[in-house]
Amino acid sequence: MALNNLDTLYRQVIMDHYKNPRNRGSLEKESVTVDMNNPTCGDRIQLQLDVQDGIVKDAKFQGEGCSISMASASMMTQAIKGMEVEEALHMSEDFSKMMLGEEIDSEEMGDIEALQGVSKFPARIKCATLAWKAMEKGVHNE
Amino acid sequence: MGVKSIDVKAIKEQFPILQQEVNGHPLVYLDSSATSQKPIQVIEAVSDYYKYNNSNVHRGVHTLGSRATDQYEGAREKVREFINATSTKEIIFTRGTTAALNLVASSYAKENVGPEDEIVITPMEHHSNLIPWQQVAKATGARLVYLPLQEDGTISLEDVKNTVNEKTKIVAVAHVSNVLGTINPIKEITEIAHQHNAIMVVDGAQGAPHMKVDVQAINCDFYAFSGHKMCAPTGIGVLYGKQELLENMEPIEFGGEMIDFVNLYDSTWKELPWKFEGGTPIIAGAIGLAAAIDFLHEIGQDEILAYETELAAYALEQMQTIDGIQIYGPKKRAGLVTFNLDDVHPHDTATVLDAEGIAVRAGHHCAQPLMKWLDVTATARASFYLYNTKEDIDLLVAGLLKTKEYFGNGFE
């Protein structure tokens, strides 16, 4: 595999979210906070969700990790804002399928589809799913 | 007695796994601190055992049973000689370093440590020489005390003298740090521990594979190491312990193989070392370990250490030429370099290097308190063994320059 094959992993849009993360920070008014880490590699995320009447009103994250984990958190928070909890969970399910290399409706995923290349790098799948796992835990605790 | 140079090319040819391409490039394996590769001699010793001699040990009247027992106990004698223990009674086979250290913590420590006592460790310990002591402290009420680290990641003997006192019951220190490469003065620390009647436990996982260990000269009370980091299979390790201490320790696993007499409500244990080896032991692993020891002896442990020291010095010198690289640990070190590139997360570094066929470790290296001390969440690590070459290091440096270029350009 030559270096340019890495471009399937590190797509432009991913690097953009990594270098200019959306929704990074903390919520003033929050309904739930989830801390999650990836014990094998040290990536960690704190996700805050403001969920009202079954709708994700706002989401912010803080944390440290590689480009894939941080870009995924940025994209996830952007995507789920305004969604019903059920929709967000459904999207998370689709995201897991995408990581397994399964076919999904990529139009619904928007920017997130750029992370599809991660499925070809098994060692990095856990990086991509960290923020989603935190979101799932958050809405279940809520 | 001079140290002869080693023929790396001939050594490398004995490792079948190193003859492959990964992602279109010849494999450059720089993760031997995690686990070493295995030479053909070791692979064949294990395979021959299963092909010709496989049987349970210490019980068969039949021929295969005797062969397996002879090989298994022969491996114990080989390990005894390898670390210069006084007797094979002092050599306990375990699953690895973690299991060995847990045996000391669960058996010796819980019997001999009380609420007023202290256990001294260092912030550079691998989790396997840290969490067992946390657990002992919680169970007994003892205090866990950390030796401070010098700025370069070494331990000062002055600090050891100021920390170890009459309350200290156990001092537990890595022989070599798996992150910093620091080679700790374990002989001197042992002396200080003994002045205060504390026992000395050495985590030798990164020591024994790379240098001659003489447990009598060090005079430590326990020394633990793993086979898989020294060319042997996974699942076999060793706990060396002084006989007088082991004699007074209770087993932590009970069942077959370790008993003398079993009555309805009470049992007695076999003598050393078998009382600590409940269940069918790790026979093939021990035989593989013996073959690995033969392999390392043939090359020469002093020769291996000299060569790795040279590789480490070369790697430090070459890697320091890269702009924006942070290198952690002291100048005088074992064969590993832990580092970070500015603005590139170590996972990303490791992924780009992997695309070039170069295997390095990225993460916290099972040393989270040390990551905190270094003020990083993760690092990348290149670690070397007797089959690595200066060309491998040149390829690593070239790979790191490409990583910088890849992450520095085109994404702004």
- DSSP label of B183: B
- What does the alpha-carbon distance between residue B243 and residue A67 come to, in Å, rounded to a whole number? 52
Residue B177 shares a structural domain with residue B78: yes
Residue B305 shares a structural domain with residue B200: no
CB B166 within 8 Å of CB B196: yes
Read off the pTM. 0.93
How is residue B137 written in tokens?
A: 């402290």
- Say what the pLDDT of residue B412 is: 42
What CATH code is carried by the domain that includes residue B211? Answer: 3.40.640.10
Residue B70 shares a structural domain with residue B88: yes
Of A1, A16, A67, the CB nearest to B348: A67
* Total domains in the fold of chain B: 2
Set of chain B residues whose Cβ sits within 8 Å of the Cβ of A64: 377
Q: Which of residues B253, B279, B297 is at a domain's end?
A: B297
Residue B159 shares a structural domain with residue B265: yes
Q: Which DSSP string corresponds to B125-143?
A: --GGGTHHHHHHHHHH-PE
CB A71 within 8 Å of CB A83: no
Average pLDDT of the residues of chain B: 96
Q: pLDDT per residue over A40-98, tens digit each?
A: 777 899 999 999 999 999 999 999 999 999 999 999 999 999 999 999 999 999 999 99
- Residue spans of the domains in chain A: they are 3-141
Q: Do B351 and A127 touch (CB under 8 A)?
A: no
Instruction: Tell me how crowded residue B143 is: count the other CB atoms within 10 A of its CB.
Output: 14
Structural domain including B85 reads 43-297
Q: Is the residue at B179 inside a domain?
A: yes
Residue B307 shares a structural domain with residue B274: no
pLDDT exceeds 50 at position B249: yes
Q: Is A4 on the interface with B (CB under 8 A)?
A: no
Q: Do A3 and B351 touch (CB under 8 A)?
A: no
Set of chain A residues whose Cβ sits within 8 Å of the Cβ of B378: 41-43
Instruction: Tell me how crowded residue B255 is: count the other CB atoms within 10 A of its CB.
Output: 10
Of chain A residues 27-56, which have a CB less than 8 A from chain B?
40-44
Residue B285 shares a structural domain with residue B161: yes
Residue B93 shares a structural domain with residue B216: yes
Residue B273 shares a structural domain with residue B344: no
Q: Is the residue at B1 inside a domain?
A: no
Q: Is B53 helix (H, G, I), strand (E, B) or coil?
A: helix
Please report the ipTM that was assigned to this predicted complex.
0.85
Residue B248 shares a structural domain with residue B370: no
Q: pLDDT per residue over B8-41, tens digit each?
A: 999 999 999 999 999 999 999 999 999 999 999 9
Q: Do B406 and A19 touch (CB under 8 A)?
A: no
Q: Do A65 and B24 touch (CB under 8 A)?
A: no
Set of chain B residues whose Cβ sits within 8 Å of the Cβ of A19: 411-412
Q: Do B348 and A66 touch (CB under 8 A)?
A: yes
Indicate which residues of B carry an active-site annotation. 366
CB B225 within 8 Å of CB B209: yes
The band of B2, judged by pLDDT with boundaries at 50, 70 and 90, is low
| Phi, psi (degrees; rounded to nearest 5) at B261 | -120, 135
- Say what the pLDDT of residue B268 is: 94
Residue B15 shares a structural domain with residue B57: no
Beta bridge partners of B341: B325, B344
User: What average pLDDT does the segment B311-338 reach?
Assistant: 96
- What does the alpha-carbon distance between residue B13 and residue B142 come to, in Å, rounded to a whole number? 51
**Looking at the domain A3-141, which fold is it?**
Sufe protein. Chain: A (3.90.1010)
Q: pLDDT per residue over B217-237, tens digit each?
A: 999 999 999 999 999 999 999
Q: Is the residue at B38 inside a domain?
A: no
User: What average pLDDT does the segment B355-368 reach?
Assistant: 94
Q: How many helices (H) and strands (E) does chain A have?
A: 5, 3
- Say what the pLDDT of residue B410 is: 44
Of A1, A9, A66, the CB nearest to B345: A66
Q: Which residue of A has its CA nearest to B358?
A: A1
Number of A–B residue contacts, CB under 8 Å = 61
Residue B86 shares a structural domain with residue B201: yes
Of chain A residues 66-85, which have a CB less than 8 A from chain B?
66-68
The band of B59, judged by pLDDT with boundaries at 50, 70 and 90, is confident
Q: Which DSSP string corresponds to B245-285?
A: HHHTPPPS--STTSEEEE-SS-EEE--TTGGG--SS--HHH
Q: pLDDT per residue over A109-131, tens digit each?
A: 888 999 999 998 888 999 999 99
Proportion of chain B above pLDDT 70, given as a percent: 99
- What does the alpha-carbon distance between residue A94 and residue B206 come to, in Å, rounded to a whole number? 43
Q: pLDDT per residue over B125-183, tens digit each?
A: 999 999 999 999 999 999 999 999 999 999 999 999 999 999 999 999 999 999 999 99
Set of chain B residues whose Cβ sits within 8 Å of the Cβ of A121: 351
Of chain A residues 81-120, which have a CB less than 8 A from chain B?
none
Q: Which residue of B has its CA nearest to A44?
A: B377
Q: Is A62 on the interface with B (CB under 8 A)?
A: no
Q: Do A42 and B364 touch (CB under 8 A)?
A: yes
Q: Do B351 and A65 touch (CB under 8 A)?
A: no
Of B377, B406, B411, the CB nearest to A19: B411
Q: Is the residue at B317 inside a domain?
A: yes
Give the DSSP H or E segment for B403. helix B390-408
Q: Is A63 on the interface with B (CB under 8 A)?
A: no
Residue B333 shares a structural domain with residue B245: no
Q: Which of residues B276, B297, B318 is at a domain's end?
A: B297
Burial B208-238 (b: 16+ CB within 10 A, else e): bbbbbbebeebebbbbbbbbbbbbbbbbbbb
- Say what the pLDDT of residue A2 is: 56
- The more confidently predicted of residues B192 and A3 is B192
CB B336 within 8 Å of CB B382: yes
Set of chain B residues whose Cβ sits within 8 Å of the Cβ of A44: 377
Q: Is A3 on the interface with B (CB under 8 A)?
A: yes
Q: Which of residues B265, B297, B329 is at a domain's end?
A: B297
Q: Which residue of A has its CA nearest to B378?
A: A42
Q: Is the residue at B237 inside a domain?
A: yes
What CATH code is carried by the domain that includes residue B322? Answer: 3.90.1150.10
Burial B70-91 (b: 16+ CB within 10 A, else e): ebbeebbebbbebbebeebbbb
User: What average pLDDT does the segment B74-96 reach?
Assistant: 98
How is residue B144 written in tokens?
A: 């866990």
| Phi, psi (degrees; rounded to nearest 5) at B167 | -80, -20
Q: pLDDT per residue over B88-132, tens digit each?
A: 999 999 999 999 999 999 999 989 999 999 999 999 999 999 999
